Structure 1
Amino acid sequence: MDNTYNKTLTKTPSIQEAEAYIRRRFLLVERNRQSSYLDVSDNQIVEFSVVVAVITNRFQLKLKEAQTLLKNTFLNPYSGKSVFRPNTENKVLNINDKWVLNTYRKPRIDPDPNLSPQPFLDHLNLAIKDDTAIEFLLDFVAYRYQHRHVNAKTGKPAHALYIYSTAQGQGKSLFTDVITEIFGSSSVKSTTTADALIKQNGYEFWERIWLLADEVRVGDRTRLYDNLKARISKLTDTVDPKNRASMEVELPAQLIMTSNHPPTFIEPDDRRFCIIEWDTGLRDDAKTDYFDEYVAWLNTYGYPAIAGLLQTRDLSNYKPMAPPPRTDAKRYAILESEEPEVDRVLRLLDRYSDVYAFDSHTIDELKLPNKTQRQILRKAGLYKERINHKGKKPTLYIRDGYGVSAGNIVESDTKEVVVPLEKNLQRLEPTL
């Protein structure tokens, strides 16, 4: 593009300000010889007329002035790539002479060390009841608050958290909500399904500060377990995305898993996971009253107070590369991991990661004990249901998060069709 102005456009202070503004906010996107624009304020691709409207509204320019200005302003070309760089608030970066989008956005919560975080600390003591686990959790989170950007020079802590509670409504998700609020939504990726993590683009979940995985079932010696074990400590990996050449990707995220079940995959010599049992001991009205008060504190002073605690916490005793503490919950989890039947089911799910409903014949081949079959399948993330299919009512064992509707496998929350049921069952034929 020509970097000179149309002779009819006078370079006034308002015009100069508008030019600087659009150079900061927009990148040029060339598609099929047509110019579009990437709005870095919300990462949306917009057309010429939209940018013109922004200029006219913000700087009170006439339509012709705005059109002429945009046509004659040189905009940096967007390379099509993005990175996560929490060490800068710049939305656009020049890396290797290419203009890339920085996906990091500053959180709305500012830390305030002058506010007392005591309600948060009291909450952890109530829910965890293990001083060693509490201190590790605080160090684990505070380290990434003080070191948001990790690279080959700094290293990435080789630690992950697994938090579980067999009782419902004890505040595990509230804890991860606090993490999201304090670090900012751009610093967090979340998932509730195992297959999302092992797909070809599963690496994308590791491109932030935190990967939050809720009720993702993992089995010992499965592909998912091997994937997690490797990426917990890796900073980069070489991947082969679909229809794209192999490339190196960054994996700065650390993993926090939450569940209503103890883990069944922890090895006796594990050096990555800190296992924490989370239960306030409160039930019914007492639980409701307590969380109403705690949430009210979070929404007033709580978030900046917790951020202030993380910002100022002394981390001299935290060893990012040393094994995490062996909590009582971890010792229990290691014993629980000896349950071979659950592991057998999880290996089946791992083998058929694109199958969402299993027929009775397939489950019978696992030779699970009749008396405990239901409990074993639930621990592995399968539930039993009879459905109407081709005039019959077969029994299916369906993955958590999915269901059957009108002859299709659908996602439970969105009801979006995943695959026709018949096609899903045909994938099991080699095992019959």
Structure 2
Amino acid sequence: MIEDASPAWGVAGEFLDFVFTRREERERFLDWLAWCLQNESDKPNWAPFLYSETKGSGKSTLCSLVARLFGEENTVSQNNVDKLSGRFNAPVLTKKLVICEELNLRQDSPQGNALKTYLTESRVMTERKGQDAETVDHCCCFLFTTNHAPMWIEPEDRRYYIIEFDHDGHAAGPRAEEFSALVGRLVEFMEDERAMAGVYRALMERRLSNGFSAKTLNVERDGTEIMRRIHAASEQTVRAQLRELLDDRGQHVVPEGEVVKLIREELGQNPNSTRHIMIEMGWSKSKVKWGGCEYARAIWVRDGYWVEQGRVKGPGHYSQPISEHLAGARQPGAAAPGLDVCVEAPLY
């Protein structure tokens, strides 16, 4: 970059004002970007995630602008995370800026779990072709884009700051021509070394907002509207699926360990929010003895039912031994560890 350039946003500022329709999201993104440039030897623990349902909204253009600020030699851009999560990932993790476009994963997938590690851990395992794997320090910052709502992100996940590009300059929007012209001017602007040096200087001299942290993302305080919608929809989906599954099985009590197993294996979801989901479904947790065990085990009980002296009891004089009830709820051929065996269930 040109050393004597004065801080100036120029056309880049016009572009940012257009694509960010909410000031607080623009400021948080710029705080993140400025911190990453000002602290090149350190890494943030969360990443901006640009989402738009429509095409032509400027996500890729913004990625190009950010890449120019870091420099081509310090940046790698890829579709999804195949190179990043693959075996020979060293060429990616040696860059400062990693851009992953069209990111679309499954919840709790191997690629998603690898991404979590890279976002939060500063020491990771890398490998180059023809060389042994080794643990290295990395200081990557990540920038993601997608045209699909990232429903795979777990509720309360603090690694992704999702920003919706919902301006009306997208390809089918009423201001499409205006926005297209602005993008054209920005492309020319990015070819001007002095102009880009002005943007770089503005970010290097930027004073970060009070309360900003590149290490911790407070999703309760700083979550965007699209983040709240995605998190709520994710919880509602798991809750509805689990309720339907337990209703189909006619199950009025379920051991803690089996709830975890159902969510993970039957529904393919992360079981970390087990307690939250069961409470919202109206179930309550007790510790009771059953099946000949001498100690109490954690078990969830459906609303309107209760457990007493090793039996499930409910409306209409319903009464059945817990072990019989659980055995009757098993699916044919399915293993049911912890139902009759005296094993202490994990408490989540």
Q: What is the TM-score normalised by the length of structure 1? A: 0.48
Give the distance between the partners of 2:86 and 2:132, measured in 1 at CA: 16
The alpha carbon displacement at 1:243 in A equals 5.8
Q: Which amino acid aligns with 2:204?
A: Q
**1:160–1:243: structure 2 CA closer, same or farther, 3 Å change rule?**
same
2:344 alignment counterpart:
none
Does residue 171 (structure 1) correspond to residue 58 (structure 2)? The answer is: yes
How far residue 308 of structure 1 moved from its aligned partner, in angstroms, is 1.4
For 1:273 and 1:119, the matched residues in 2 are separated by 28
In the alignment, which residue of structure 1 is the partner of 2:196?
A: 303
For residue 17 of structure 2, the aligned residue among 121, 125, 142 is 125
Instruction: Measure, in 1, the Cα distance between the counterparts of 2:83 and 2:31.
Output: 29
Cα separation, partners in 2 of 1:204 and 1:339, compared to 1, 3 Å = farther
Partner of 1:334 in structure 2? 231
Q: Deviations over 1:167-205 (max 9, x none)?
A: 211211111111111211111112114332222113432
Per-residue CA distance 1:302-353 (angstroms, 9 max, x = gap): 4222111111001263322221520112112223445869xxxxxxxxxxxx
Contact 1:214 1:258 in 2 (8 A): yes
Decide whether the 8 Å contact of 2:10 with 2:195 is kept in 1.
no
Structure 2 residue aligned with 1:138, among 30, 37, 50? 30
Structure 1 residues 121 and 289: CA distance shift in structure 2, 3 A: closer
Q: How far apart in 2 are the matches of 1:120 and 1:111?
A: 19
> How far apart are the structure 1 equivalents of 2:187 and 2:101?
21
Question: What 5-or-longer segments of structure 1 have no aligned partner?
Answer: 1-108, 151-155, 342-365, 367-432
RMSD: 2.7
Going from structure 1 to structure 2, the CA distance change for 1:215 and 1:112 (only over 3 Å counts) comes to farther
Q: 1:12-411, aligned counterparts within 5 Å?
A: 109-110=1-2, 114-117=6-9, 119-150=11-42, 156-239=43-126, 244-282=131-169, 283=173, 284-300=176-192, 302-315=195-208, 317=210, 318-324=212-218, 325-337=222-234
Distance 1:208 1:271 in 2: 23
Change in CA separation of 1:292 and 1:244 when aligned onto 2, cut-off 3 Å: closer
| Structure 2 residues without counterparts, runs of 5 or longer | 239-265, 267-348
Distance in 1 between the 2:83 and 2:56 partners? 25
Structure 1 residues 308, 243: CA separation in 2 closer, same or farther (over 3 Å shift)? Answer: closer
**CA distance 1:291–1:199, shift in 2 (3 Å):** closer
Cα distance in structure 2, aligned partners of 1:204 and 1:297: 30
Please give the secondary structure, in 1, of the residue aligned with 2:99: strand
Q: What percentage of residue pairs aligned between the two structures are identical?
A: 22
Q: CA deviation at 1:277?
A: 0.8
**Partner Cα distance (1:251, 1:276) in 2:** 26
Q: Which amino acid aligns with 2:214?
A: P
- TM-score, length basis structure 2: 0.59
Distance change (3 Å), C-alpha of 1:142 and 1:181: same
Distance across 1 between alignment mates of 2:235 and 2:129: 37
Q: Distance in 1 between matches of 2:60 and 2:177?
A: 19
Number of aligned residue pairs: 230
- State the structure with bigger RCO (CA 8 A, min sep 6), 1 or 2: 2
